[in-house]
Amino acid sequence: MRIACVFNPFKYKLHEENLKIVQRYFGLFPPLSMAWVCAIAERAGHDALLIDARTLRLTKEDVLDRLKAWKPDILGFMMTTYMFRETLEWVSFLKKNLKVPVIIGGYNLRVYPEESVSVDGPDFGCFNSAYHTLPRLLEELAGQRRFGDVPGLIYKENGLVRMTPSGPEPKFNDYPNPARHLLPNDLYAEFTTERKNFTVMVTSKGCPNECLFCEAGHTAYNPRSPETVLGEVRECYTRYNIREIDFFDYDFCVDRRRIDAICDGMIKSNLDVTWACRTRVDYVDEALLCKMKKAGCSRIYFGIESGVQEILDRLNKGISLQQIRDAIEMTRRLGIMALGFFLVGSPGETRETFSQTIRFAKSLQLDYVQFSKLTAKPLTPYWRQMVRETGVDYWRDYILGLAEDKPLPRPWTSLTNEEIDLLTKKAYVMYHCRPMFLLHHTLHVKSWSEFKRKFYAFLEMVFRQERVSTLDENFVAYPEDAGRLSSYRRNNRRNGVS
């Protein structure tokens, strides 16, 4: 069977936690979920195609032409809750023109499995991992079509949406490596990228902590072994010329023995690769940071959330301001850049608490900051509370097409959504418009593309941000490398694909 997965471009949404400018400059990333899906299909003996229409700047019509030439038996899409309706438009368009079945998967199917498939467009849904589901589905599509026998599947039958039991949770370690050979690996970059080629890796699922704003809280930890991780790093280095990796795990350092072994392996292999990861301030100490630095770690993203202890406690973050100060000081002293994630509009937040947070952020001398508007995201404790208390589930209504994209209420703070939006913008401007900060960053850029990306982002942040966030029909992600993209498109045209 032939499965073609499509990663569509997506626009800024009012209900998301980030500002439009953050979304625009966040980066162009490999569509990793579907790269796993394709790898799983290929391992089972099927043919796979993955079209990253977002990075390649392809329109629906361009993608249709490519698919007509490739002739898939089934189309695949990854669904997040936030971008569900936009991806659904792509599903409808391509399905109407190609007349092949569509399977959807991804995080939104964990939250709203039946609803996701009940809408017009998708024929099948994979509500957990593709690991067992996809090979069995492809087998049934080619043969008997007994969909009830496929584990973890949602499908439509006689006007009803049916769901099969999901079967045992596969070990993440047993997955093949994502099918990066199907991707334009030299086009990816994130805001902080210093080297090319850049990629993203995910080496564990889940997180044992229980921060109340986070959907990963208290989810089963399912890691890949150090050997598997090192094997993927080596593959990235030799096969795809990757020189910078961002480990996108919810928390890369949950298991001290695992991270120790990964770092030891990286030091031993002596590959010319730098990397970044996310972790908590209470998971690092001097010995670990020294080892991470030696292993090529150049940036760590820490969840700091607030500069007010009372707010950290209300978020159930389980860390103190002193722990934050110590971890950031150590990280920077050892020559690793530190990024801090902060929340705006937390429970009990006022203008005064947020001023304290900005002062705290500045005092830490972080290399990067990200301020996000605290939002009741699906599967978080705040979302559960909101649904319980109001009886309305905005996200469910949104994916069913019953609610428009809009900022969600934040009953836990007296600040209005408009004030939170303004404070978030102000925080970015206040943090970045400091002469010493600007000088330091200008002197430390490593390439022309890094300089251009950061310079344009700065200009847009200071001069082009609207007062209150609005939708933008012409929204596109910052085109990292327009020259390389054009040559890709030219080559493809020469080879007969649009």
Could you say whether residue 202 binds ligand B12 (CB under 6 A)? yes
SS3 (DSSP) at 98:
helix
List the one residue from 147, 213, 250, 354 that touches ligand B12 (CB under 6 A): 250
- Work out what residue 252 binds among ligand SF4, ligand B12, none; the CB cut-off runs from 5 to 8 Å by kind: none
Is 213 within 8 Å of 374 (Cβ atoms)?
A: yes
Choice from 108, 203, 413, 469 touching ligand B12 (CB under 6 A): 108
Per-residue tokens: 241: 């010329």
32 or 254: whose CB is closer to ligand SF4?
254
Cα 122 to chain centroid distance, Å, stands at: 23
Q: What is the Cα–Cα distance from 224 to 232, expressed in whole angstroms?
A: 10
Q: HSE of 281 in the Cβ direction (CA atoms, 13 Å)?
A: 26
What Rg, from alpha-carbon coordinates, does the chain have?
A: 23
| Per CB under 6 A, 131 contacts ligand B12 | yes
Residues in contact with ligand B12, counted by CB under 6 A, come to a total of 39
Cβ burial 338-369 (10 Å sphere, 16+ → b, else e): bbbebbbbbbebeeebbbbbbebbeebebbbb
Residues lying near ligand SF4 in the complex (CB under 6 A): 207, 209, 211, 214, 216-217, 250-251, 280, 303
Task: Please state the closest distance from residue 401 (CB atom) to ligand SF4, in A.
Answer: 30
Regarding 98 and contact with ligand B12 (CB under 6 A), the answer is no
The CA distance from 151 to 92, in Å, is: 25
Do residues 469 and 11 make contact, with C-beta atoms less than 8 angstroms apart?
no
Query: Of ligand SF4, ligand B12, none, which one does residue 279 interact with (CB within 5 to 8 Å by kind)?
Result: none
Q: In the stretch 363-392, what mask flags binding to ligand B12 with x, by CB under 6 A?
A: ---------------x--------------
Q: How far apart are CA 29 and CA 22, in angstroms?
A: 14
**Pick from 470, 489, 469, 464: nearest CA to 479:** 489
Q: Which does 248 bind (CB under 5 to 8 A by kind): ligand SF4, ligand B12, none?
A: ligand B12
Which residue carries 């030091």 as its tokens?
Answer: 267
Q: Which is nearer to ligand SF4, 35 or 304 (CB)?
A: 304
89 vs 418, beta carbon nearer ligand B12: 89
By beta-carbon proximity to ligand SF4, the closer residue of 279 and 469 is 279
The site map against ligand B12 for 51-80 (x = CB under 6 A) is: -------------------------xxx-x
| Footprint of ligand B12 (CB under 6 A) | 5, 10, 16, 18, 23, 29, 31-34, 36-37, 76-78, 80-83, 87, 103-108, 111, 126, 129-131, 134, 200, 202, 215-216, 248, 250, 378
